Amino acid sequence: MLNTKHVLERFNIDTKSRFLAVQEVRQVVEGSVDPLGTARNIIMNLIEQGTEFSVTDPIEARMTAQYLVDKAILLGDKYDPNEALKSAAERIAIQRIENPWFFYKPTFGITETTTETRHDVSVEVKADGKIKKGGKQILAQALYEQHKGKDNKAIIEIFMEELQMSKAGATTYLYNCKKASSK
């Protein structure tokens, strides 16, 4: 007989509220470094040893773990791992048809970046070669520290050349660097 309460306590999942427990499973799974592995771990601890279970989709794995935790708390000692796993698979199959957006993994808006070292400072650079947001300010501060002894006009020229910005932009960045440096 599977002691589901013990399993849930090991994963620090509150057994007093089914709804809170399902939310905690989501937080634990999505907050982990390996969401698929974490969900599989919860699932494997809530089904009988030797039961074959394979899933490669992290969303499906999380939903299965959530469903099993919900059933374990709802049924308590009457929890049947095989029946719960079968019900979870059926429920997820229905969800894939009725609510396909649950399983959608957005790919837009994700920008591939690399880290480059420029002027002894690491900055994120997008695939198109442009510095990621916030990187110019970091580089400007590093350039300002390197050329502090020069006059404003020279530093503005350096900013314009090194950071590919207008004179107005370079002037603003110089002001911000001086302000940050005086703190």
Please identify which residue in the block is written with the tokens 């399993």.
Answer: 7
pLDDT in tens, 142-171: 899 889 889 999 999 999 998 888 999 999
Is residue 92 within 8 A of residue 64, CB to CB? The reply is: yes
pLDDT score of 136? 86
pLDDT score of 34? 86
Distance of CA 84 to the CA centre of its chain: 29
pLDDT of 79 higher than 70 = yes
d(CA 44, CA 51): 8
The pTM assigned to this predicted structure is 0.56
d(CA 110, CA 124): 14
Pick left, alpha or beta for residue 80 (phi over 0 → left; psi -120 to 50 → alpha; otherwise beta): beta
